[in-house]
């Protein structure tokens, strides 16, 4: 990688290793513009709709497959064992791919242990299971403070932990990405796996929130 | 909670060789024309001009070709969206929307 700043991020797909020359870039831009002009003229695309369309994709949170992983672990004890033993394989077992050499590790919350995930160097994040990272996950404040004062940071998220709960902070890297297996909420005993998956929030799988069953 | 997605999972969630370049989830475009090329393919597919699978197969073929080029000619690595653009032209050609690669013109 020529760009050392991003070495913490595993490339999801072939990135450019040697950069294009300015001339090559100009040619590609010209080729694209020519195609666009042609398609606009033929009435096949509307120019102003194109930007809006890209924005939809840029803002798309993603598949959020992690919620289904969590719900399966809550309802199938043998799956949970496999998940804690070898998360990469167990997640793939549910048909969720795209992990491109990232090793997934699942850490389980219990009444006495609370896990929370950060990437202190940049913003490594398991997109295939968690979707797009929240804005705060990439903020310097979160990345720098969480490893030092996790309890205080979690409190700001509205999560107060008793003194006897051990807090474990997991620092992601290009090689290892973490998913928190939250505690199954009280009152969810009769719920189906599908309904359970709907309860599981992204924040709970990063470890900054608990899950509760809403009672009206 | 899972909100209904405004995007086509067939496009956004491609895996394997054709997977969209992302950095920790965020789509990566190196130059403005890459965004335009992305948008063109997605818009035309959404409007029913071609099947996504058709485009995806052309993308994979373009990538294989790009890789051979890199290996045999000591060429710089061909970028994802260069291959995307080639695949888009091919797909439009296959569907009779443009004629033969670069010969379309508005002049």
**B89: chain A residues, CB-CB within 8 Å:** 35
How many C-beta neighbours within 10 Å does residue A214 have?
7
Q: pLDDT tens digits, residue range B40-96? A: 999 999 999 999 999 999 999 999 988 887 777 666 778 899 999 999 999 999 999
Mark A94-129 as b/e (b = at least 16 C-beta within 10 Å): eebebbeebebbbbebeeeebbbbbbbebbbbbbbb
Q: pLDDT tens digits, residue range A76-121? A: 999 999 999 999 999 989 887 665 557 899 999 999 999 999 998 8
Please answer whether residues A11 and A98 qualify as being in contact, where contact means their C-beta atoms are separated by less than 8 angstroms: no
Q: Interface pTM (ipTM) of the complex?
A: 0.88
Minimal C-alpha gap between A16 and chain B (Å)? 5
**A131: chain B residues, CB-CB within 8 Å:** 25
Q: How far apart are CA A104 and CA A87, in angstroms?
A: 5
Minimal C-alpha gap between B74 and chain A (Å)? 11
Domain boundaries defined on chain A: 4-59, 66-206
**A66-206: CATH homologous superfamily?**
Nitrile hydratase alpha /Thiocyanate hydrolase gamma (3.90.330.10)
Please answer whether residues B78 and B69 qualify as being in contact, where contact means their C-beta atoms are separated by less than 8 angstroms: yes
A26: region left, alpha or beta (phi > 0 left; psi from -120 to 50 alpha): alpha
Catalytically active residues of A, by annotation: 119, 122-124
Minimal C-alpha gap between B24 and chain A (Å)? 5
Of B35, B43, B85, the CB nearest to A28: B85
**A66: chain B residues, CB-CB within 8 Å:** none
pLDDT at A16 over 50: no
């Amino acid at each position: 990688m020529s760009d050392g700043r991003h070495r913490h991020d595993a490339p999801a797909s072939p990135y450019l290793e040697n950069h294009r020359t300015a001339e090559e870039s100009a040619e590609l831009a010209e080729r694209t513009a020519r195609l666009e002009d042609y398609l606009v003229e033929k009435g096949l695309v509307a120019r102003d709709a194109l930007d809006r369309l890209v924005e939809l994709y840029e803002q798309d949170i993603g598949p959020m497959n992690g919620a289904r992983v969590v719900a399966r672990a809550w309802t199938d004890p043998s799956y949970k064992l496999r998940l804690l033993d070898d998360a990469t394989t167990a997640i793939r077992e549910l048909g969720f791919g795209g992990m491109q050499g990232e090793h997934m590790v699942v850490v389980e919350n219990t009444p006495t242990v609370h896990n929370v995930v950060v990437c202190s160097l940049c913003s490594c994040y398991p997109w295939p299971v968690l979707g797009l990272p929240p804005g705060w996950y990439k903020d310097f404040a979160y990345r720098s403070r969480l490893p030092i004062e996790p309890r205080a940071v979690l409190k700001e998220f509205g999560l107060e932990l008793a003194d006897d709960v051990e807090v474990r902070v997991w620092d992601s890297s290009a090689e290892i990405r973490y998913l928190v297996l939250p505690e199954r909420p009280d009152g969810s005993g009769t719920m189906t796996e599908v309904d359970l998956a709907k309860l599981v929030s992204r924040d709970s799988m990063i470890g900054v929130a608990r899950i509760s069953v809403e009672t009206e | 909670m899972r909100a209904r997605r405004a995007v086509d999972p067939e496009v956004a969630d491609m895996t394997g060789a054709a997977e969209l370049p992302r950095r920790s989830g965020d789509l990566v475009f190196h130059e403005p024309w890459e965004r335009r090329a992305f948008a063109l393919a997605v818009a035309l597919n959404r409007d029913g001009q071609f099947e996504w699978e058709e485009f995806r197969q052309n993308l994979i073929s373009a990538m294989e070709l790009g890789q051979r080029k890199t290996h045999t000619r000591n060429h710089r690595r061909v970028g994802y969206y260069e291959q995307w653009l080639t695949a888009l032209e091919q797909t439009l050609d296959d569907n009779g929307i443009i004629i033969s690669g670069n010969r379309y013109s508005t002049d």
